[in-house]
């Protein structure tokens, strides 16, 4: 699978070989397969990695930057509890630091991955090129998906919060999505703004209209 290949490539880029970290990758895959996950599952991980692959040549500078964003993709939702809020990112960042450090990944790379994971909570970066910009955009690729896939995503997120009443969910979800339309651009990299932005704005507008009907 592409996600496995990209993990092993990232490890080799910063450590020279993938020995030992295959078991780490397999443990992370189990986390991403937990039954309570609706959207934040292996499909999301695959889409983030695919998005990064699309942006690799235009937004990233070399193998080390690529390794950082791949590690961040695998680790950014490795801890996911719908009741934890922003603590998910903090706990995922802690997992990233301890796991990568314990397996021979250098401090500079570890610090960069932790920063990327923490930034995935607010989705607010200023860079237009480099790991922060590329990871920000790939994590939000789903906003630009086909209407069918975007609607599947919305349904999956709602399923994760099935216990929340419709009106409360609509208000909370609107508070998360509406600011993206208020920005000058949803995405940061030039390529994503050119290729993904129009569809993302259409999808966001449709979903916010639906949510308004339930508020």
Domain that holds residue 148: 143-214
Residues 113 and 32 in one domain: yes
**Token pair 């950082």 in the structure block, residue:** 68
Residues 128 and 169 in one domain: no
- For the chain, the average pLDDT equals 95
Would you say residue 169 has pLDDT above 90? yes
Residues 75 and 30 in one domain: yes
CATH, residue 107: 1.10.3210
Residues 94 and 158 in one domain: no
Percent of the chain at pLDDT > 70 equals 100
Domain count, the chain: 2
End of a domain among 83, 117, 139?
139
Residues 67 and 147 in one domain: no
End of a domain among 139, 158, 185?
139
Contact present, 97 and 110 (Cβ < 8 Å): yes
State the Cα–Cα distance between residues 88 and 161, nearest whole angstrom. Answer: 15
Residues 121 and 163 in one domain: no
Residues 8 and 106 in one domain: yes
pLDDT at 82: 84
Residues 65 and 114 in one domain: yes
Q: Give the model confidence (pLDDT) of 172-189 as tens digits.
A: 999 999 999 999 999 999
Would you say residue 12 has pLDDT above 70? yes
What's the pTM? 0.95
């Amino acid at each position: 699978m592409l996600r496995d290949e990209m993990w092993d490539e990232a490890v080799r880029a910063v450590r020279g070989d993938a020995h030992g970290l295959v078991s780490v990758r397999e443990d992370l895959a189990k986390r991403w397969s937990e039954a309570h996950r609706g959207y934040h599952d292996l499909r999301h991980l695959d889409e983030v990695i695919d998005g990064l692959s699309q942006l690799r040549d235009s937004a990233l500078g070399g193998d080390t930057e690529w390794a950082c964003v791949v590690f961040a993709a695998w680790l950014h939702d490795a801890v996911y509890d719908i009741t934890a809020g922003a603590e998910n990112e903090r706990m995922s960042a802690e997992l990233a630091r301890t796991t990568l450090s314990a397996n021979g990944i250098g401090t500079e790379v570890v610090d960069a991955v932790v920063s990327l994971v923490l930034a995935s909570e607010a989705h607010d970066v200023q860079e237009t090129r480099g790991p922060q910009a590329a990871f920000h955009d790939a994590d939000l690729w789903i906003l630009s998906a086909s209407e069918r896939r975007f609607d599947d995503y919305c349904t999956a997120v709602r399923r994760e919060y099935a216990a929340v009443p419709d009106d409360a969910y609509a208000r909370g979800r609107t508070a998360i999505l509406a600011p993206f339309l208020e920005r000058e651009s949803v995405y940061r990299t030039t390529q994503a703004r050119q290729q993904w932005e129009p569809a993302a704005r259409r999808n966001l507008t449709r979903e916010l209209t639906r949510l308004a009907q339930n508020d």
